[in-house]
Amino acid sequence: MRSIFEENDVICAEVRGFQHDGSLHLQARSQKYGKLERGQLLTVPSYLVKRRKLHLHHIEQYRIDLILGCNGFVWVGEHVGTKDDMVVDQSSKSNAKSTRYPTSLKEQERSYTPLETRQNICRTANAVRVLSTLGLSINVEVITEKVNLSSSLNLDTHEMLGLEFFVLVAEVEAARRSLKKKKG
């Protein structure tokens, strides 16, 4: 494992089981699992993330991936197409570990995240922060609504963390719940 991952790497895997000594058995059954890079890891109260059939989402319009863990960990990162990271050239891996900076032009291109994608990552992460602070349920539909709301208002990403946006989100959620009660 140490030839693939380093300490403090963020990875996505399924918990296969627990041992009586407290250790976990993890598995990565497909290429959608592995090391998470170029994104933000957020922690929210676990009760805000409801168990669903799908927890890994690709939001195509923003070119980002969103992972909503039932344990309260939320990952927002650049969309990475499926690839096999388990097959690694050991010489390039050891070289990358020693320098930690991309050396060739090709490596720099692979490690570059476009500005628009970085802004979408920040906007989505801020939507999660707002929902968490307000104690609202966190799912991909509600997050996307809040990202679209902030975009339609032409807010900068940092303005999403301002009091005005919090109030607006709370009002929108109250109106949505009121409509839901009238229909039901």
- Angle (CA) 103-86-73 rounded to 5° is 90
Q: How confident is the model at residue 36 (pLDDT cuts 50, 70, 90)?
A: low
Judged against a pLDDT cut of 70, whether residue 122 lies above it is answered with yes
Return the pLDDT at 34. 61
- Give the side-chain half-sphere CA count within 13 A for 82: 7
User: How large is the average pLDDT for residues 112-134?
Assistant: 92
Q: Name, in order, each residue with C-beta under 8 angstroms of 161's C-beta and a sequence gap of 6 or more.
A: 126, 129, 130
Measure the CA–CA gap between 46 and 138, rounded to whole angstroms.
10
Return the pLDDT at 89. 43
Average pLDDT, the chain: 79
Judged against a pLDDT cut of 70, whether residue 113 lies above it is answered with yes
Tell me the residue length of the chain: 184
